Amino acid sequence: MNIYDISVPVSGDLPTFPGDPRVELAPVTRIARGDSANVTRIVMASHSGTHLDAPRHYNDHGISVDHLPLTLLIGKALVADIRGVKEIGRHELARLPIGGEQRLLIRTDNSLLWDRPGFSDEYAGLTADGAQYLVEKGVRLVGIDYLSVEAFSGNGEIHRLLLGNGVVIVEGLNLDGVAAGSYELICLPLKLKGGDGAPARVVLRGRGGEHGGEEFDPHTTRWPIS
């Protein structure tokens, strides 16, 4: 069994979307200063780093993070490799075997941006017709490997289209080194009461590697010992 941690580390160097507060990790107590334990104060937005967007993000009456079913956030997921494409539309998505898939994670060239300092506004994202296609195909969770599923020039249309149709969004993934194929997704956002979104630890379980391998079988939890 291979386990892929597709979350990005939280630190003061983590890029943040323009307008969001920067991540701050400040020491409260430190053993080196004579305190009995190490404790750190954390300041960050609900949409920092690897995080989940709940319908409440763009609708005051939408479902909040704490009411999302775990059955949606844990289960079989398809990783699709769409590197080399910046605007991901219906045409690009129609080439993928996403029929019957509820969870789709899109690997783009964005994953390489995490190695660059600061925020990059030239990331790949979904177009409106691409988002509409996912809704039509019955996708209920879509993830992408940078801080927004929507282009930096967007006005929230893609978010409203997806979230308004019950499609949960996971942003800020790092899919570098993860081959296309089927995996088990485990996405656990912080249980923020009334939350419009929340930072999450997201992992994939599967038998593949960078060069592929056996697909995840959702009907068994018996995995080979690595």
Q: Where are the domains of the chain?
A: 2-7+45-206
Q: Which amino acid, residue 187?
A: C
Q: What is the pTM of this model?
A: 0.91
Count other C-beta atoms under 10 Å from residue 186's C-beta.
Answer: 17
If phi over 0 gives left and psi between -120 and 50 gives alpha, with beta otherwise, what is residue 172? Answer: left
Q: Show the tokens assigned to 109.
A: 């060239």
Q: Of 224 and 38, which is predicted with more confidence?
A: 38
Give 53: exposed, middle or buried? Use CB within 10 Å, 0-12, 13-18, 19+: buried
Which one of 47, 51, 57, 159 is the catalytic residue? 57
Q: Contact, 126 vs 144, CB < 8 A?
A: yes
Say if CB 57 and CB 159 are below 8 A apart. yes
Q: Is a pLDDT exceeding 90 seen at residue 55?
A: yes
pLDDT band at 1 (very low <50, low <70, confident <90, very high): confident
In the residue annotation, 51 being an active-site residue is answered as: no
Paired tokens of 53: 């967007």
CATH 3.20.20.80 fits 2-7+45-206, yes or no: no
Q: How far, in Å, CA of 140 to CA of 80, rounded?
A: 15
pLDDT per position as a tens digit, 119-153: 999 999 999 999 999 999 999 999 999 999 999 99
